Amino acid sequence: MVVVRTARASDADAVLSLTAQLGYDVERSGLQARLGSTLAKPDHVVLIAEDAGHAIAWLHASVWEYLEADRFVVVVGLVVDKTRRRQGIGRMLMAHAEEWARARRCSIVRLWSSVERATAHEFYERLGYSRIKTQYAFAKSVDADRDDDLTRFVPRLDAETL
């Protein structure tokens, strides 16, 4: 039976391999550190879907606040193991994230998704999400020695990750 729970530091390895399926090849030590610091933040939640003790999906959400808008929840990342898709697991995680948003008195859940992720777009629309606008993403490296860091924000999207 699939259950949803909040993440623990010991989920780092499972989160790492699922993150690769999202198209990001991250280093274990960095991910482990970021998972630890994220788990300590009250305005963030990392949810794990687990089946028989195995983590098969994760969702990260956080509360954001803009000057021009009331607090809202952003689904920062979501991935379901490729062998377990179309089994209602993504839907289950999103329902928990929406409940988490309501509990924080946020009336809106929003997210951004690369144009190539057509499957994910169908999924979000099926769950009642609307395409509210189309945007370009801009970024600049301000450390000449670390220009490569920019590429970390660009997922590898191919048959493995879509």
Ligand X SMILES: CC(C)(COP(=O)(O)OP(=O)(O)OC[C@H]1O[C@@H](n2cnc3c(N)ncnc32)[C@H](O)[C@@H]1OP(=O)(O)O)[C@@H](O)C(=O)NCCC(=O)NCCS
Burial classification of residue 21, based on how many CB atoms lie within 10 Å of its CB (0-12 exposed, 13-18 middle, 19 or more buried): middle
Site for ligand X in 66-105 (CB under 6 A): 78-80, 85-91
What whole-number distance in Å separates Cα of residue 78 and Cα of residue 84?
13
Considering beta carbons, is residue 12 or 120 the nearer one to ligand X?
A: 120
Contact, 95 vs 49, CB < 8 A? no
Q: How far is CA 139 from the centre of its chain?
A: 20
Closest residue to ligand X, judged by C-beta, is 90
CB 49 within 8 A of CB 64: no
- The CB-of-159 to ligand X minimum distance in angstroms stands at 11
Does residue 122 bind ligand X (CB under 6 A)?
yes
If the CB atoms of residues 131 and 140 are measured against ligand X, the closer one turns out to be 131
Q: Is 62 in the site for ligand X (CB under 6 A)?
A: no
Cα torsion 30, 36, 39, 42 to 10°: value is: -100
Among 22, 35, 48, 97, which residue sits at the site for ligand X (rule: CB under 6 A)?
22
Residue closer to ligand X (CB basis): 97 or 145: 97
Q: Residue numbers of the site for ligand X (CB under 6 A)?
A: 22, 78-80, 85-91, 113, 117, 119-120, 122-123, 126
